[in-house]
Amino acid sequence: MTTITLALGDITRESVDAIVNAANSSLLGGGGVDGAIHRRGGPAILEECRKLRASHYGKGLPTGQAVATTAGELDAQWVIHTVGPVFSESEDRSELLASCYRESLRVADELGARTVAFPAISTGVYRWPMQDAARIAVETVRSTETAVEEVRFVLFDERAYEVFAAQVR
Ligand code: ADP
């Protein structure tokens, strides 16, 4: 049984086994959550990302996939990097967003992580409407077989928190 919990604030302050990063496909860092994770986690994360790029993801990590690195100085053992889809009005990319949550949980299971913190993937620079993103996030976690005991959605502002809370209720 996976319990879904909610937290308000900065995901880089969470104590969990694994923190999920809304990365971009380059794995070389960016703004938003990605920037915050690399800033607080320190250079060890980027160093592992560079190695992964060189060994496996020369063309970038594909959208909807996930890969783990050290969490550096964060209070976690791993960062799981996943690439969300950019929201599109003309194309339904929901399956790719669902895949981010499923694949991150699959990687978490491989690692043996029992507590995992997720940001609201794709709802920042990638412009996914919060309510739809929350529905996909919660439905996907609820329908995924995993040994993860707690999935904690960490929302950056009160509006996002309320939208997720309405979805979890
Ligand atoms: P994406 O490119 O997938 O849209 P962003 O990082 O731009 O990723 O935004 C994803 C969500 O994370 C947004 O809702 C944004 O408000 C939120 N966010 C930004 N910084 C943090 C942080 N430090 N902790 C938790 N959530 C954050």
What domains appear along the chain, each with residue ranges and CATH number? 3-168 (3.40.220.10)
Please spell the DSSP secondary structure of the chain, one letter per residue.
Answer: -PEEEEEES-GGG--SSEEEEEE-TT-S--SHHHHHHHHHH-HHHHHHHHHHHHHT-TT-PPTT-EEEEE-TTSSSSEEEEEEPPPP-SSS--HHHHHHHHHHHHHHHHHHT-SEEEE--TTSSTT---HHHHHHHHHHHHHTS-----EEEEEESSHHHHHHHHHHH-
Q: Given this model, what pLDDT does residue 62 score?
A: 98
Whether the full predicted model's pTM is greater than 0.90, yes or no, is: yes
CA neighbor of 44 nearest in space, from 79, 93, 11: 79
Q: Given this model, what pLDDT does residue 109 score?
A: 98
What's the pLDDT tens digit per position in 93-146? Answer: 999 999 999 999 999 999 999 999 999 999 999 999 999 999 999 999 999 999
Mean pLDDT of the chain: 98
d(C-alpha 51, C-alpha 102), whole Å: 24
Using the mean position of ligand 1's atoms as its centre, give its distance from the Cα of residue 10 in Å. Answer: 9
Q: State whether the beta carbon of 33 lies less than 6 angstroms from ligand 1.
A: yes
- Among protein residues, the one with the nearest Cα to ligand 1's atom 7 is 124
Q: What is the best residue among 104, 116, 123 to mutate for testing ligand 1's pocket, by most ligand atoms within 8 Å of CB?
A: 123
What's the pLDDT tens digit per position in 45-79? Answer: 999 999 999 999 999 999 999 999 999 999 999 99
37 Cα nearest atom in ligand 1? 23
Using the mean position of ligand 1's atoms as its centre, give its distance from the Cα of residue 93 in Å. Answer: 18
What integer is the mean pLDDT of 145-165? Answer: 98
Catalytic residue numbers read: 34
The answer, yes or no, to whether residue 1 has pLDDT greater than 90, is no
* φ and ψ at residue 85, rounded to 5 degrees: -80, 150
